[in-house]
Structure 1
Amino acid sequence: SSILFTCSHLIMIKRPNKEATKPLKKQKLPEITFSQDKDIDLYSISSSEHSGTYILEGLKEVNFKGLSSQMPNPVQHKRLEETQNPYFKLLANYPDSYILNTSNSQKQSISEALVLHILNHIYKLKSKVQQNTSLKDPPKDQGFNPAQVLVLFPYKEQAKEFLDLVIKFHCKDKKKKLNSTSSQKYNETFGDEEENKVSDAFKFGVCVGDKRELSLYTPFVKSDIIVASPLSLKQAVSEPNLGILCSVQIVVLVEAQEFIMQNWDHIEDIFKAMNKLPDRDSVTVDLNRIMDVFLDQNSADFRQLIITSKLQTPLLMSLFNRSKRPKARTIEHYEGVVSTSPSQTFRKFQVSTFQDTPDLRFKYFTESYWPNVKEDLSPQSVVFVESYLEYVRVREYLEEYDPGVLCVSEYTPKPQRQRSFAYVKSAKNKALCITERLIYFRNPKISKIGHLVFYSLPENPEIYTKLVEVAEQVTAVFCKFDGYCLQRIVGDKRAAKML
């Protein structure tokens, strides 16, 4: 059975009187009123504004005694005092960290902290190895190869920003510290600014020199840092017997919300390939100096994970929570993005376990909702589906039971997409079924929607706002496992009551 909010586990945002000619003044957001009548819960909102408050938790309490406990004190960089911020202090204690970056000032501060932390880690290890090399009987102090840090970026643009910061801090802003080959490849890789914004095919190694020198495109097994997109690195680790990720001690996912839009399976495959026993050719250090934690294949337990993202999502939280290491994360707070127009109804379906969610969502939509509304749909209606896997299932159902609905995804050829939108706009077909990735990557122009139905809520609240602004009526289906999406749309307080 479902719970109804204004006709389902509701949040009902009433539309203003059409006869009103004067724009409404901004009002302070009132408390949500709650009343219960049998299986119907009603929440009313008269106005809304979006704002964010972020609290970094566990900053001073985190102190991980792992690999870092065996290292010398951090190297004091001349710029270190200038860039002291909570993020650097946090990362230097080696907890797994999930940091939300929602503004340009935050993004710059986080990026600088990331680079300083990575360089500091490399400096410490190199210093320790050099000190121990002079000993008669050097201890075990290394991995299988120098590739200690993996940084994943969605696009070249973010990789360039990272590399520029490495040059800024390690080379003192002097690109002449790059050798001629590195300088040439830097220009070849990042010369086209427009390509940098969309290219997700790149991978290269970075070797940090002792005299503030920097080498790019070094072989992975001889690099200190591996910089790559998930797509390119997935292709590299798919080759047999390559141990390029066998010694990773820090892995960073930058702008991680983008990976969900690209292909999350690449991330999963990369993590499966990390910290495994390599083939002999991938071992570039003295075997007698390889630490037992690597030989025993336990190094993943000591590996630090750092995630920066604009959003907090179930996929990212699942990855973040897998290890038993100490953790610190940013807590996000939202007032929501819902407005007073158009009217928006949220329907909640009941589910006990996360694994049952896809099946019960589909059952609710096909048995309890769609059959009751499909005959009365307004012209130019849209059914929005968040994931492609859900879309395939819904598409097959609609093609069989409701052929009047056209289905379009990010993989649909452009001529067919344009034709489908034109048919719906001219009322030749009654509705269109689309995906979040279609909106994200193709950005189709949608000027009017009759009835907007969210089969599942979008991860990105901006997409919700974009579609709702041109809709006459909105219905959204959700369950208790849609909490992250729901709170970004309706706000923390409303989401807590609705869930």
Structure 2
Amino acid sequence: MAFHGSRGDLRGRGNSEGSGRRSSMGGSRGRGRGRGRGGFRGGRGKPVFDSTRIAQQKEVEANEESEPESPSEAEEEPESQDESSGDEEPLPAVRSYAALMQSFATDLGPQAKRRKLDPEARPESAKTEEEENSKPAAEDSDEVEEPEEGPETETDGLLEDEDDLEDASDPFEAHFADPDDNILSKRLKSLEKNQWVTQKAVIPKFGKVVIGIPEIDDKNDRTRPKPLSEPAELRLKQKLAGVMSKQRPEFDDLEKHITPSIFGYQDIFYCERRPTNSESLRRLACLHAVNHVFKTRDRVIKNNARLAKEENNGDLELRDQGFTRPKVLMILPTRESCVRMVKMITFLCEPDQQENQKRFDDSYVEKEEKFSDDKPQDFRELFGGNDDDMFRLGLKFTRKTIKYFSQFYNSDIIFASPLGLRLALEGKDDKKGDYDFLSSIEVVIVDQADALLMQNWEHVEYIFEHLNLQPKEAHGCDFSRVRSWYLDNNAKYFRQTIALAAFNTPELNTLFFNKSRNWAGKFKISINYPGAIQELGLKIKQTFSRLESLSFASDPDARFTYFTTAVIPSLTRSAKDSTGTVIFIPSYLDFVRVRNYFSTSPATTSLSFGSISEYTSVRDVTRARSHFFSGRHSVLLYTERAHHFRRYQLRGVRKVIMYGLPDNPIFYKEIVGGYLGRSVQEGKLEPGEGSARVIFSKWDILKLERIAGTERVGKMIKEKGDTFDFL
């Protein structure tokens, strides 16, 4: 998907209308942020990266001899090393990656951690409420000002679970630390050639599973993992196992089947995420992420102890690290979704302290209820709380503390929206783009991926393109401890991707197909759809018309031609045929084309129309809805993204024409069943009088399956007839 528009057009899909201005549908927010639903992020009063502010804070720090309370706007550059030091130790000679080491800076040692000597400069969690309230309001920045550490320097403390390390049956050990060389070498060769062997299976009460494994000789290796009935069967850290045994002693049906693949480090694309199962999926994702971080940390602590005990350790090769510290990346749609993930992590970890907790609550938590009960459940889950879609947050674990807003290179887990992370990757003003902190990501979790499609999907693609690249700088890395597959540039084959979405789309399919290269294999999970046409709750004539489209690229032109030649004449035949007609248009570009046609074509001069898109102002939306309900406008053009962000309840609807099918099958039920059903209830329409007409092509097969049903979709795509009626 091409990235349209200028640098300021980062929020939306790059639509042509309204370039350079904020979306009029955004409304206001308590912290002065516009929602920018498909709109544009130009002209923010405060830049995301503010080097001047950092300089001012350093000056205050020097005067007060304590770290500043106000956070910086961007990642602080690592403290410069003492240039007068000329007795730098030479780097050890390493055969397999000498060329890589020479490309980095000469000083590779981790910087010493700056300790706070001032008793007043204590952690945020230790400060009194009065001191917290006296601070300035929390800024919208992504981190606190602190020196950059080495990739694994924050490992002081004793091992918590010394007896559960280096278990050969542990998936962590089998996937990262000590994989079977015979299987791994074969699979890496297959991955380099993009050779996969696929299997399909149906699991009762769970769904359809498509299994992909890099092609190998052993056919018995291509089997799906067996279900697990309880958390006790997982290889968890003892602390996490204790929490799960008390809070979740048994798995439900979903958890039983999906847990083995998640904790077995296989890629997962789960296409049936719902508000009803979101808590279970969130718990599993966070449990897996924290368990992975803790096992990585404890392996490093144990090896540090071994190196300290053995004086002659020149022959001791310990490979336990990546280039940088961050190991888990969570890509989320809103700040509220980040809050839910963080709360789940703290619930699982039970930390003694949470540093910068108040600042996190001030910046991310919004307790006021914004929506009435008439909004659907999926809408309230996505847009409830703080729905700002520009954020990034580093989370750091020590033995007893969780620290929020840690510098990216000091973090274990990074939470970010696509927009927020892309701005960090590209840099701003005098700050160069930096993506080295993504070089050692081993687990990526994309939650509510379908919601990210309605933001700007190109940002997600950009992020995945910059994962697991070789870093440009050393960042205090000890290369003698880096795992060999990092040095061989094979990290992308070890990374696990977990994508959770309410439904599948071509964009999600393409990302999972192209960027999921896990040597352990990948799973795509969906269900057999009964069809939204059977779930409307009233009797409506529904006509599905198939258009012939030779290619995906020519589909927009073929669809427009079909609409103007087959649909418009039925509307202009008589005023009665057009009154109360809603034309639903998924694509904004198609919306502009159809709107211009209604405005300029002689064929539509008899039709009065209004329009509502994601860029329409609140005032114009109110006017368009009022004119449509009163009959002043006989036709109303309505986009999918406008419905996604607002869920308008339109009145006076007598007929629905779908220029294209929506991705979300819930939208079909709300627009066809909801709008026409309301007209029946209000007496504007007699039962059985309403109708719906849908235009589709063979390129809409994923959408059509969810709306017409899995059993019908094949016939509707392949049969000679091009019209299908349902009641």
Normalised by the length of structure 1, the TM-score is 0.79
> More relative contact order in 1 or in 2 (CA 8 Å, sep 6+)?
1
1:54 aligns with 2:210: no
The farther-off stretch of 373-382 and 486-495 is 373-382
Asked if 1:396 corresponds to 2:596, the answer is: yes
1:205 Cα shift? 0.5
- Corresponding residue for 2:367? 193
The CA deviation at 1:292 is: 4.5
**Separation (CA, whole Å) in 2 of partners of 1:259 and 1:212:** 34
Give 2:621's match in structure 1, choosing from 388, 394, 417.
417
In the alignment, which residue of structure 2 is the partner of 1:130?
301
Spell out, residue by residue over 1:360-384, the C-alpha distance to the aligned partner (whole angstroms, 9 max, x if none).
Answer: 2233223443345444442121111
- 8 Å Cα contact 2:259-2:284 kept in structure 1: yes
Shift of 1:91: 0.5
State the one-letter code of the partner of 2:237.
V
> For residues 355-370 of structure 1, what are the structure 2 equivalents within 5 Å?
355-370=553-568
Deviation digits for residues 173-203 of structure 1, max 9, x if unmatched?
x5x4213xx2222321344224734222321
Alignment of 1:34-433 (within 5 A): 54-55=206-207, 57=209, 61-62=223-224, 75-76=237-238, 77-81=241-245, 82=249, 85-86=255-256, 87-104=258-275, 106-133=277-304, 134-135=306-307, 136=313, 137-171=316-350, 174=351, 176-179=352-355, 182-194=356-368, 196-209=385-398, 211-239=399-427, 240-243=432-435, 244-280=437-473, 283-322=475-514, 323-325=516-518, 326-338=521-533, 339=536, 341-376=539-574, 377-401=577-601, 402=604, 404-433=608-637
Greater alpha carbon shift after TM alignment, 83-92 vs 302-311: 83-92
Shift of 1:492: 1.6
Which AA in structure 2 matches 1:416? D
- SS for the counterpart of 2:656 is strand
Where 2:340 maps in the other structure, the secondary structure is: helix
Distance 2:571 2:341 in 1: 50
Contact 2:530–2:706 (CA under 8 A) maintained in structure 1: yes
- Residue 83 of structure 1 deviates from its aligned partner by 5.7
The question of whether the paired residues in 1 share the 8 Å contact of 2:629 and 2:651 is answered with no
Task: Name 1:497's counterpart in structure 2.
Answer: 715
CA distance in 2, matches of 1:368, 1:311: 31
- How many angstroms apart in 2 are the aligned matches of 1:58 and 1:384? 33
Following superposition, the deviation at residue 296 of structure 1 comes to 4.7
Find the residue that maps to 2:206 and give its secondary structure: strand
Identity %: 28
Alignment check: 8 A CA contact 2:208 2:528 kept: no
Counterpart residue type for residue 79 of structure 1 = V
Provide the C-alpha distance between the structure 2 equivalents of 1:445 and 1:284, rounded to a whole number of angstroms. 56
Q: 312-321 or 131-140: which moved more?
A: 131-140
CA gap of 1:58–1:468, structure 2 versus 1, over 3 A, is closer
CA distance in 1, matches of 2:270, 2:359: 32
Q: How far is 1:347 from its partner?
A: 0.4
Deviations 1:330-366, CA, capped at 9 Å, x for gaps? 2212212224522110001123443333332233223
How far apart in 2 are the matches of 1:295 and 1:230?
28
Contiguous gaps of at least 5 residues in structure 2: 1-203, 212-221, 226-234, 308-312, 369-383, 677-689, 718-727
Aligned equivalents of 1:385, 1:245: Cα separation in 2: 38
> Whole-Å Cα distance in 1 between the matches of residues 318 and 556 of structure 2?
52
Partners of 2:479 and 2:448 lie apart in 1 by 37
TM-score (norm 2): 0.56
Larger Rg: 2
Q: Distance in 2 between matches of 1:139 and 1:396?
A: 66
